[in-house]
């Protein structure tokens, strides 16, 4: 019994006899309010516990192996698809990139509506000169295998027919002598360029400009006879990888450009700074994508400014990488916060209850002896 008596002296929570407990209306109100506060705070803490915590880190990018994917969706409101070229170039600007691409051009009317009974046109993005034997003509992306050759215009058309692609004859070397066009028809339609390019992870550029493109030595030339070209356009989507809603992976989406009234021909430049980004989510594979910032510049070519009408995108990659990672909060942290909420709220409620009770006792005693005034 002596041991039990010694343990009782260590009791930090002695109970008060029921006869000495006084229950009041103010104490009941404070208890209800404090209990409601505890329930609300614990619910908010539970929501924070089940919601992953997103952390952001910045470090030097060492992942230079995978390619850079460029997703493009741009609408030209007043230039026909047959007169539009999409070219990709490396950082030096004098040689074209070898790129994998899947870009199609959709014909539109001047109001932006797709033309009926027309198939998408497979765009042929300019590439470096091939090292293959000259006796094997290119099929321009429609070949069945690596040994498939198209040495005549009919063979190219047949390859495109089997792919169910609409061919752009003015870009096919085998068909150049059989196809003529007049530049007066260039502004009777619109064009939507949609698809993606996969290029090496290095600084470069791509542009959309009127006319057929080709290179002579170190010069990139577009064959277009009309000098005054107003390229009203809308960037429906432009990104360099997968889309992340909370990051700036697509800041130009929905951006529309209208030519100025006095300008006869304009050149639009977009300078892009790409920041490699990785998004690590819980229990899923990481997403490798890119954010980018943009600086825009418009040049009026009618006032003796040098340049070529078109839409030019120049990009360079940052040596740093941003990493977003979802981290789950620990249950111990959640339990500790719940205990802190319960103890803190009821402690403060107890102090308020004692203060109100003592204040009421003092007022009542003064009222009884007539000293309340």
- Please give the helix or strand (H or E) that residue 292 lies within, else none: strand 287-300
Residue 106 to residue 115: CA distance in whole angstroms: 8
Q: What is the pLDDT of residue 96?
A: 46
Give the highest mean pLDDT range of 19-28, 153-162, 165-174, 273-282.
Answer: 273-282
Q: How confident is the model at residue 300 (pLDDT cuts 50, 70, 90)?
A: confident
Q: What is the pLDDT of residue 168?
A: 67
Residue 82 to residue 185: CA distance in whole angstroms: 9
Q: What is the pLDDT of residue 327?
A: 82
Q: What is the pLDDT of residue 128?
A: 41
Q: Against a cut of 0.75, is the pTM above it?
A: no
- What are the sequence ranges of the domains in the chain? 18-51+329-369, 59-327
More confident residue, 256 or 187: 256
Read off the tokens for 121.
């046109």
If we measure between CA atoms, which residue out of 248, 218, 245, 259 comes closest to residue 79?
259
- Please give the helix or strand (H or E) that residue 213 lies within, else none: strand 212-216
Cβ atoms 314, 269 nearer than 8 A: yes
Cβ atoms 70, 193 nearer than 8 A: no
Mean pLDDT throughout 178-199? Answer: 76
Cβ atoms 193, 102 nearer than 8 A: no
Mean pLDDT of the residues in the chain: 79
Tens digits of residue pLDDT in 98-118: 455 688 888 888 887 888 766
Tens digits of residue pLDDT in 109-143: 888 788 876 666 666 565 443 333 446 778 877 78
More confident residue, 51 or 130: 51
More confident residue, 180 or 73: 73
Cβ atoms 253, 210 nearer than 8 A: no
Q: Which residue has the tokens 């990481």?
A: 286
């Amino acid at each position: 019994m002596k041991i039990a008596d010694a343990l009782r002296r260590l009791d930090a929570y002695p109970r008060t006899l029921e006869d000495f407990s006084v229950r009041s209306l103010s104490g009941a109100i404070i208890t209800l309010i404090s209990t409601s506060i505890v329930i609300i705070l614990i619910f908010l803490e539970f929501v924070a516990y089940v919601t992953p915590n997103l952390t952001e880190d910045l470090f030097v990018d060492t992942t230079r192996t995978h390619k850079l994917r460029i997703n493009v969706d741009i609408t030209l409101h007043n230039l026909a698809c047959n007169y539009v070229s999409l070219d990709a170039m490396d950082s030096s600007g004098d040689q074209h990139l070898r790129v994998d691409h899947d870009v199609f051009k959709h014909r539109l009317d001047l109001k932006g509506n797709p033309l009926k009974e027309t198939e998408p046109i497979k765009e042929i993005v300019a590439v470096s000169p091939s090292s293959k034997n000259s006796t094997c003509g290119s099929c321009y992306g429609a070949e069945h295998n690596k040994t498939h050759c198209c040495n005549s215009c009919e063979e190219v058309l047949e390859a495109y027919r089997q792919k169910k692609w609409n061919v752009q004859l003015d870009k096919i070397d085998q068909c150049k002598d059989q196809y003529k066009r007049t530049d007066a028809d260039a502004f009777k339609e619109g064009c939507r360029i949609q698809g993606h390019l996969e290029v090496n992870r290095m600084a470069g550029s791509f542009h959309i400009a009127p006319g057929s493109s080709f290179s002579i030595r170190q010069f990139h030339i577009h064959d277009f006879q009309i000098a005054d070209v107003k390229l009203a356009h809308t960037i429906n989507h432009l990104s360099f990888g997968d889309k992340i809603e909370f990051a700036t992976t697509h800041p130009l989406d929905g951006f529309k450009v209208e030519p100025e009234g006095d300008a006869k021909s304009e050149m639009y430049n977009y300078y892009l700074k790409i920041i490699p980004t990785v998004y690590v989510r819980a229990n899923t594979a990481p997403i490798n994508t890119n954010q980018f910032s943009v600086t825009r510049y418009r040049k009026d070519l009618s006032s003796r400014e040098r340049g070529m009408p078109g839409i030019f995108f120049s990009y360079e990659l940052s040596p740093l990488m941003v990493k977003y990672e979802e981290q789950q909060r620990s249950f111990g942290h959640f339990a500790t916060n719940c205990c802190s909420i319960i103890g803190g709220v009821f402690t403060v409620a107890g102090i308020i209850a004692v203060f109100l009770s003592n204040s009421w006792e003092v007022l009542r005693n003064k009222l009884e002896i007539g000293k309340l005034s």
